[in-house]
């Protein structure tokens, strides 16, 4: 049974991000940016059993969409989407221990889509020095620094960011740190718990400015 959960100032849908209940809510939000980190279809995890992109609606609900399809899936993904491709940003992660089909992988490709031109002052590459926080064990967790860079590049404080594959909640923490609101979706019970734990740990340990909680209208319908 799907449900919405409030995590601080952010909203998490515990269910499938192609559900009407989630996409309808996204349409009501006036979000400025969506980030999607879909399954790669490598069958290394239970959640990774297929790769079938059904999320072009993200470009109807936010003017800019970034997707990290995984290097090996890039061609497949570009064939599955009709969103207009603009460019890609390479996030170089020298301390990463992630494996790809060809061995250790030290970069993440973030593809950017929009119907408008998106010529921000953004370099096409960025070095990420972060070492992964072992407390949150999700095999596809993205660097927090990368998410902060994407969010600060494409949104302003107070904006809403949508993430239909929330995983361990990196996008939600990046929104919390930068003063944006996150609306995410995640299928798995254990990752939903991880997102809540990660948020609680972050709020307890951080010096982020405490903001007044403003609940999104309509999220609990
Ligand atoms: C590649 S991971 C995302 C990792 C995330 N960016 C992070 O930093 O932790 C994809 C996640 O999407 C979830 N997922 C897969 N299909 C989904 C769907 N249709 N709706 C919602 N979540 C889904 C999986 O359970 C998995 O946790």
Residue 59's pLDDT is 98
In a domain, 137, yes or no: yes
Give the C-alpha separation, 95 to 93, whole Å.
Answer: 6
Residue 101's pLDDT is 66
Question: Cα of 87 to ligand 1 centre, how many Å?
Answer: 23
- The DSSP element (H or E) to which 147 belongs, if any, is helix 144-154
Instruction: Look at strands 85-92 and 107-114 and give their pairing.
Output: antiparallel
The CATH number of whichever domain residue 148 belongs to comes to: 3.40.50.150
In a domain, 14, yes or no: yes
In a domain, 198, yes or no: yes
Q: Is the CB of 163 under 6 A from ligand 1?
A: no
In a domain, 196, yes or no: yes
Ligand 1: which of 175, 185, 186 to mutate, most ligand atoms within 8 Å of CB? 186
Task: Give the residue carrying structure tokens 């950017």.
Answer: 112
Residue 98's pLDDT is 73
Give the C-alpha separation, 120 to 66, whole Å.
Answer: 14
Closest atom of ligand 1 relative to the 147 alpha carbon: 8
Helices (H) and strands (E) in the chain, counts: 6, 11
Q: Are 215 and 160 a contacting pair, CB within 8 Å?
A: no
Residues of the chain scoring pLDDT < 70? 42-44, 50, 100-102, 208-221
pLDDT tens column, 8-34: 999 999 999 999 999 999 999 999 999
In a domain, 123, yes or no: yes
Q: Is the CB of 23 under 6 A from ligand 1?
A: no
Ligand 1: which of 14, 23, 47 to mutate, most ligand atoms within 8 Å of CB? 47
- For residue 7, the SS3 value is strand
In a domain, 210, yes or no: no
Residue 46's pLDDT is 72
Domain residues for the domain of 47 are 3-205
Closest atom of ligand 1 relative to the 136 alpha carbon: 9
Residue 1's pLDDT is 81
Q: Is the CB of 191 under 6 A from ligand 1?
A: yes
Tally of domains within the chain: 1
Residue 124's pLDDT is 86
Residue 71's pLDDT is 85
Residue 30's pLDDT is 95
- The DSSP element (H or E) to which 202 belongs, if any, is helix 189-205
Taking the whole predicted model, whether its pTM rises above 0.85 is answered as yes
Closest atom of ligand 1 relative to the 142 alpha carbon: 8
In a domain, 219, yes or no: no
Residue 201: CB atoms within 10 A of its CB come to 14
Ligand 1: which of 2, 13, 34, 39 to mutate, most ligand atoms within 8 Å of CB? 39
Q: Which residues touch 208 (CB under 8 Å, ≥6 apart)?
A: 176, 177, 202
Q: Which residues touch 11 (CB under 8 Å, ≥6 apart)?
A: 4, 5, 181, 182, 183, 184, 216, 219
């Amino acid at each position: 049974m799907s449900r919405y959960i409030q995590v601080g100032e952010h909203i998490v849908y515990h269910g499938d991000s192609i559900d009407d209940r989630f996409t309808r809510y996204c349409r009501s939000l006036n979000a400025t940016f969506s980030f999607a980190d879909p399954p790669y279809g490598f069958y290394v995890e239970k959640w990774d059993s297929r790769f079938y992109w059904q999320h072009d609606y993200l470009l109807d609900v936010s003017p800019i969409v970034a997707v990290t399809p995984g290097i090996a899936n890039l061609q497949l993904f570009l064939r599955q989407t009709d969103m207009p491709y603009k460019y890609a940003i390479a996030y170089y992660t020298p301390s990463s221990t992630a494996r790809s089909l060809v061995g250790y992988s030290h970069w993440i490709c973030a593809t950017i889509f929009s119907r408008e031109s998106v010529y921000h002052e953004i370099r096409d590459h960025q070095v990420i020095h972060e070492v992964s926080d072992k407390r949150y064990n999700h095999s596809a967790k993205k660097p927090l620094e990368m998410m902060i860079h994407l969010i600060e590049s494409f949104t302003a404080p107070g904006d809403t960011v949508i993430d239909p594959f929330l995983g361990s909640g990196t996008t939600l923490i990046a929104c919390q740190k930068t003063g944006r609101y996150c609306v995410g979706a995640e299928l798995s019970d254990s990752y939903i718990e991880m997102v809540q734990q990660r948020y609680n740990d972050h709020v307890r340990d951080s010096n982020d400015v405490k903001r007044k909680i403003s609940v999104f209208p309509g999220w609990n319908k």
